[in-house]
């Protein structure tokens, strides 16, 4: 019963994050939405790891390390984007819509 509830919450987090990532223009909102999606996936992995207690602690450590790496990479991408283009509007980034990059 608890695992099914956690999987439902996980699916809701993934859907909310996907909607936020698709519908927002600001790179900060996209970053937060991607983080919500990632946390939904981690919640599903950790909920499924309760079936195997031997793997639960190692999956928790893996989840924490992947979360920190993901945040570091995304923040560095957005800092580089802001330094080069002086804005964080993802609709104004050249090359994301299929046009040629100079």
Instruction: Report the topology of domain 2-92.
Output: Helix Hairpins (1.10.287)
Look at residue 34 and tell me whether its pLDDT is greater than 60.
yes
Question: Residue 100 phi/psi, 5° resolution?
Answer: -75, 140
The domain segmentation of the chain, as residue ranges, is 2-92
- pTM of the full structure: 0.72
Segment 12-30, tens digit of pLDDT: 999 999 999 898 877 778 8
Alpha-carbon distances of 51 from 14, 39, 94, rounded to whole Å: 22, 20, 46
Instruction: Give the per-residue pLDDT at 16.
Output: 96
């Amino acid at each position: 019963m608890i695992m099914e509830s956690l999987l439902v919450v996980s699916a809701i987090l993934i859907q909310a994050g996907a909607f936020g990532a698709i519908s927002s223009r600001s790179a900060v909102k996209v970053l937060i939405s991607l983080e919500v999606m990632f946390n939904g996936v981690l919640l599903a992995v950790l909920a499924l790891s309760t079936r195997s207690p031997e793997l639960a602690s190692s999956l928790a450590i893996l989840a924490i390390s992947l979360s920190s790496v993901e945040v570091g990479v995304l923040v560095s991408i957005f800092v580089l984007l802001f330094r080069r283009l002086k804005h964080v509007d993802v609709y104004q980034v050249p090359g994301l819509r299929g046009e040629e990059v100079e």
